Amino acid sequence: MKFIDESKIEVFAGNGGNGAASFRREKYIEKGGPDGGDGGRGGSVFAQADRNINTLVDYRFARSHRAKNGESGRGSDCYGKGADDVILRMPVGTVITDINSGEVIADLARDGEKTLLAQGGKGGLGNLHFKSSTNRAPRQCTPGEEGETRELQLELKVLADVGLLGMPNAGKSTFIRSVSAAKPKVADYPFTTLHPNLGVVRVSHEKSFVIADIPGLIEGAAEGAGLGHQFLRHLARTRVLLHLVDLAPMYEGTDPVAEANAILNELKKYDQSLYEKPRWLVLNKLDLLEDRDAKVVAFLEKFSDYDRHFAISAINGEGCKELTYAIMEHLLQIAAQEQEEAAESAQESDASSI
């Protein structure tokens, strides 16, 4: 299945049915009075997160989604039938934005989360509602309201705990194959990864985390070089970034330090908040180095913009287990801190309500 992570759609809620102006006509009953029923409500359009869907490909070609109109009211106190709602199932992590206003309507971050995209119109009132002691034969009724119409931008941001950054051929796909069951394409040429890949890293029977591999960045990505910045959105929800650096570059004259700085510059151009996320340096391809310790020390002397550093060889798994254990410990600390903050805020709200 082709990976699609953005799309534009239009949603049309149904119009409400018209109210009816009718009078009771029955043998031997004179002046039966008004009996016009109300119109039914129009169908609404909802979006619901579904963990069984992982791409927006269903919305690449099906751009228009309409709910049905409500039925009009009829005589004999018959109310019109309301239309069924339309539920659009989307991947978990989809951000829905109104194109015209720029308002973020929803961020579907949890499976089963449901949000209203377009409200169906209310049904009109029949003349039954307008009778009174002074108006015993009302002929007025109201039309149904129009349903909402919206143009929406869908943007998928995959849910992952850890994101991989690096130049093409830095070994990101090899690393994710080494530590998880994911099998992204690996080859001896750049840009083998053309769309994000997710892998579940299982540290123990009860402990695991999700890691995201995105296509490599190159210098000038902000101007559209390579694949540009189009996949960096998938790192927005991550807790920590792993910056992989190739210490044994394929081409002679390539400076790993310059490449590492280029990645940081592109990250800063794209989003300052993403640049400020915890970032760990991972020096890869130690198996191709004879003087590995000296190369690592020399690199760290010239490049210091990182929180922690690790040296690994993704192809044979050297150092990968220690790295995954450190990541799991870091994520557990973050989760514990968030629980404490949530408990403190709950206590403060309880105290303020007393």
Residue 310 confidence (pLDDT) above 70: yes
Residue 113 confidence (pLDDT) above 70: yes
User: The whole model's pTM is what?
Assistant: 0.68
Residue ranges per structural domain of the chain: 6-156, 162-340
User: Among 34-43, 205-214, 295-304, 319-328, whose mean pLDDT is lowest?
Assistant: 205-214
Query: Among candidates 147, 160, 137, which has minimal Cα distance to 213?
Result: 160
Strand partners, 7: 154
Encoded tokens for 134: 């002074």
Instruction: Return the pLDDT at 227.
Output: 47
pLDDT tens figures, 179-191: 887 665 554 544 4
Encoded tokens for 260: 């590492």
Instruction: Return the pLDDT at 179.
Output: 86
Length of the chain equals 354
**Is 6-156 assigned to CATH 2.70.210.12?**
yes
Long-range contacts of residues 102-111, Cβ cutoff 8 Å, at least 24 apart: 105/152, 106/47, 108/47, 108/48, 108/49, 109/49, 109/159, 109/237, 110/49, 111/49, 111/50, 111/51
Query: Percent of the chain having pLDDT more than 90?
Result: 27
pLDDT tens figures, 39-79: 999 999 999 998 888 778 888 888 899 999 999 998 888 89
Query: Percent of the chain having pLDDT more than 70?
Result: 89
pLDDT tens figures, 200-241: 888 888 888 888 887 766 555 445 544 445 667 777 788 898
CATH of region 162-340: 3.40.50.300
Mean of pLDDT over the chain: 84
| String of DSSP letters for 272-335 | HHHHTS-EEEEEE-GGG-SSHHHHHHHHHHH----SEEEE-BTTTTBTHHHHHHHHHHHHHHHH
Instruction: Return the pLDDT at 226.
Output: 46
